[in-house]
């Protein structure tokens, strides 16, 4: 059987240290490598003519790349933003995972939907992570 998975999610960050600490301390990700991505790569990929520091965060097979562009002012995310507005994370037990994340200070959004509850965690920059049972 051909198993397809998402390779990674990339997030540009206004305050990368705060965002990285959130994913590590509140959601249980492990900090991986950090490296500089030159403007010569950022320009054709993202249209930013600036060097970025990129840090990888790992949670099992999930990788989040946090990009911190130098000398560029990023705008804060708004509710009326087109494009990526959430991504999904599989865990063993979503209710238990959310309780633990909430106890560590994460904001949990619970949305009743018919016979179930949809769980989201909001990171410090307004990105939402939908939590699923494996």
Q: Give the pairing type, strands 128-133 and 86-91.
A: parallel
Residue 78 in domain: no
Residue 92 in domain: yes
Q: Looking at residue 2, what is its pLDDT?
A: 64
Residue 107 in domain: yes
Residue 54 in domain: yes
Domain count, the chain: 1
Residue 4 in domain: no
Residue 27 belongs to domain spanning: 9-70+85-133
Alpha-carbon distance of 122 to 128, in angstroms, equals 4
Identify whether the C-beta of residue 91 lies closer than 8 Å to the C-beta of residue 133.
yes
The percent of residues in the chain predicted with pLDDT above 90, rounded, is 72
Report whether pLDDT(110) > 70.
Answer: yes
Report whether pLDDT(101) > 80.
Answer: yes
Where residue 1 falls among pLDDT bands split at 50, 70, 90?
low
CATH number at residue 50: 3.10.180.10
Q: How many CA atoms lie within 13 A of 59 on its CB side?
A: 20
Q: What is the mean pLDDT of residues 56-79?
A: 87
Residue 127 in domain: yes
């Amino acid at each position: 059987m051909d198993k397809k998975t998402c390779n990674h999610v990339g997030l540009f960050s206004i305050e990368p240290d705060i965002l990285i600490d959130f994913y590590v301390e509140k959601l249980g990700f492990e900090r991986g490598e950090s490296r500089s991505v030159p403007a010569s790569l950022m320009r054709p990929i993202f249209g930013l003519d600036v060097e970025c520091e990129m840090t990888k965060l790992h949670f099992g097979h999930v990788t989040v790349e946090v990009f911190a562009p130098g000398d560029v002012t990023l705008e804060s995310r708004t509710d009326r933003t087109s494009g990526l507005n959430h991504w999904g994370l599989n865990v063993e037990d979503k209710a238990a995972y959310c309780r633990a994340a909430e106890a560590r200070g994460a904001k949990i959004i619970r949305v009743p939907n018919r016979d179930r509850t949809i769980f989201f965690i909001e990171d410090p920059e307004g990105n939402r992570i939908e939590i699923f049972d494996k």
